[in-house]
Every structure is written in structure tokens, then in C-alpha cells.
Structure 1
Amino acid sequence: MFRHSLLLLAGLAAGLSALPAMAHPGVPHVHDLASGLLHPLTGWDHLLAFVAIGMWSAQQSRSAAWTLPLLFLGCMAGSAMLPSLGMHLPGLEPGVAASVALLGLMIANGFRFASGLSAAIVAVFAVLHGYTHGVEVPADAMGAWFGAGFIAATMLLVAGGLLLGKLAEWRAAGRLVRVTGSMIAMSGVVLLSSAM
């Protein structure tokens, strides 16, 4: 188990050093459905956050394990429209990075909150991620296709995290979940330091 954890940590460190820290390099990347499908896979901030939402949801009650991911997807899609309404949110990149770190901490420690607080946490994280992309997406047909692809890929990543969380529970691999949560939290701190 320890050897596997070290290998996973080494792979994560290599990945973080090889790829850009954020998935928002400041250049237009919104083209079509394929761009939307690939975008969540091009930055650690999205990849880790979306998988972590699924994993943390799996640690909650049975009903929350399904409602929290759906809430995340809905709030993220809705908040992507806020920039077109003229709303501005400051500190997006640090907020997105902080969401990764906090999700990792919550997974590592198995935090369970009352359903209302859990929903509020998930909604805030979803707004940060959704708004960040709403700023970049043009209000035309290409933007709509990009958004559809982005939501579909996000859904798959969240579902993958949920499945990982549930499989770990089924196989009584709680330690692996805690180690993974700790690594996500450390990655979030790295992302946060590069976003400041």
C-alpha cells in the first residue's frame, strides 16, 4: 500500500510539473464540442476538482452521494451564464485552486456535514468553476457546443470520482481514499501558490 502511494504521489508531482498549473492560459480555446470535451482534461484544477467532488460525495449519505454531483453540475452550468449578465466575480483562479485544496482535505478527513452545508459548499465550488468558463465562452452556437462538451466531460469525471469513492468503500480501502484526498489537497496548495 505504501509503495503504491509513493508511486501515485510521484506520478502526480511529475504531472503537476509537466502541465500548466491552470486550465486558463489566457488564450482563446473555445472552438467546438470536441474542445469542450477535452478542456476539463487539460488542467489539473478542473480534473482534480471534478474527480474530488465525486469522491467526497461518495463519502456522504446515500442520497447526498447522488444529489451533490447533480447540484454541482447544475450550479456550474448556471453560473457559466453569469458573465453574459454582466456579473463579475473577483479572485477566480485562487478560488478554483482553493476549492481543490479544500476538497482534498475534506476527502482525507472524511468530513460529513449537514445536507444544507454540504450543498452550499458544492454550490460555491461549482459557481467558481462555472463562472471561470463563462468568462471564456462566446455567446454563440460554438460557445453552446463547447459548453455542452464541457458539461459532458465534467459529468464523466465526477461520475469517475463517485465510482472511485464507492469502490474504495466496498473494498474497505479507506486508507487509499485518505491518501488520495491528501494528495489532492497538496496539489491544490501547489495550484493556489501558482495562482497568487
Structure 2
Amino acid sequence: MSKTIRLAALSAAVALAATPALAHPGHLAGAGFLDGIGHPLGGFDHLIAMVTVGVYGATIGGRAVLAVPGAFMAAMLAGGLFALTGGELPLVEPAIYASTVVLALLCVMPMSRNGIVGALFAAFFGLFHGFAHGAEMPADAAALGYAAGFLTSTAGLHAAGAALGLALHRLIGRREESGQSA
């Protein structure tokens, strides 16, 4: 079995293991920085999407290692602000669930190795993730602190994904150089 097929199968299995982002428990009145940090860590859908954004940026390489996660975070912040101002966005939960599948598949599709395309996909899904968090934020939450914590945690998950992606890329490259099948 080729390495692309194995990576696609692994990506699909991880993506299918995610559950929808329904009703994210744990939002308490007065939520602030620490609650913002903890929120992305409490849902498997968030973990998969945010780590995968980092892997995808590393898969593309070059400036995309920072640009893809940066686009996700910027759009996530915009989506959160839009929700806080009373905006409406349809299909938020299905888009969040789809992000886990689509981003994982983009990591293994050779046609998706374009930094601009990667940043656009990341921004699209980041908007939905951000909107969900802005809409779920308690009315008396410390919005600035919560957003700062959420962005900090998201950046850490993106960095972990990028490190994982770069490590896998090096491992696969070494195997190919030695003539082994990955």
C-alpha cells in the first residue's frame, strides 16, 4: 500500500473519530483567560481541527507553516467577534465537524500544497470555530481574557501540529531516501 493511501486512511480514521461540537460544556459565568485556554482542550473536534491546521501548514512548508495557522486564528477571532455582536452564521456545527475531515484530507492530497489555498481553507473553517466560541460565551464573561486564552491555546495546538507534521515529513523523507516504503 502506498504511503499516500496509508496517510489518507489514517487521516480519515482520525477525522471520523471526532464528534460534533454540540453544546460544548464547561462554560461558566465569569469565564476568563484560563477558561479560554481550557476550552479548545476540552473537545476532541477542536483538538483534531487545530492540530491538523498545524500539520497542514507544515505539509505545505515554507511560509505556510505560519500563514495557515495564522489565517485560522485571525478568522477565528473575526468569527468570535461577529458572534458577540449578534451576527448569525448558518451551519456552524456541521462546518466545525467538516473541518476535521477536510483539513485531515488536505494534509494528504498532493493538489493541496499551495500556501494561499491552505490559508483560505484554514480561514474558512476558523471563522466557524470562532463563531461557535463567541456565541457560546456567557454574557458576563471577560471576553478579552477569554479570547486571549483561547488564542493562546489554539496557537499551542497549531504549534504542536506543525511540529508533528515536520517530524512526519522528515521521517517519510528519510525512508524514501533509504529506499524503504513508508
Same fold, judged at TM 0.5 (above): yes
- Which consecutive unaligned segments of at least 5 residues does structure 2 have? 1-5, 176-182
Counterpart contact for 1:65–1:162, Cα < 8 Å: yes
Secondary structure of the corresponding residue to residue 62 of structure 1? coil
Equivalent residue, structure 2, for 1:92: 92
CA separation in 1, counterparts of 2:140 and 2:28?
A: 14
In structure 2, the CA distance between the partners of 1:44 and 1:23, relative to structure 1 (3 Å rule), is farther
Counterpart contact for 1:23–1:39, Cα < 8 Å: no
- Which consecutive unaligned segments of at least 5 residues does structure 1 have? 176-196
CA separation in 2, counterparts of 1:113 and 1:107?
A: 8
- Alignment: residue pair count: 162
Cα displacement (A) at 1:114: 3.8
CA separation in 2, counterparts of 1:174 and 1:48?
A: 26
Q: How does 1:7-156 map to 2 (within 5 A)?
A: 21-22=20-21, 24-25=23-24, 28-29=27-28, 31-138=31-138, 142-156=142-156
Counterpart contact for 1:54–1:160, Cα < 8 Å: yes
CA separation in 1, counterparts of 2:89 and 2:56?
A: 26
Listed one character per residue, the Cα deviations across residues 76-119 of structure 1 (whole Å, up to 9, x for unaligned) are 11221002333200111111000101111112334424443322
In structure 2, the CA distance between the partners of 1:41 and 1:23, relative to structure 1 (3 Å rule), is farther
Give the TM-score, by structure 1 length: 0.71
CA separation in 2, counterparts of 1:23 and 1:139?
A: 19
Counterpart contact for 2:67–2:115, Cα < 8 Å: no
Give the TM-score, by structure 2 length: 0.76
CA separation in 2, counterparts of 1:35 and 1:41?
A: 10
CA separation in 1, counterparts of 2:36 and 2:174?
A: 33
Equivalent residue, structure 2, for 1:158: 158
Secondary structure of the corresponding residue to residue 60 of structure 2? coil
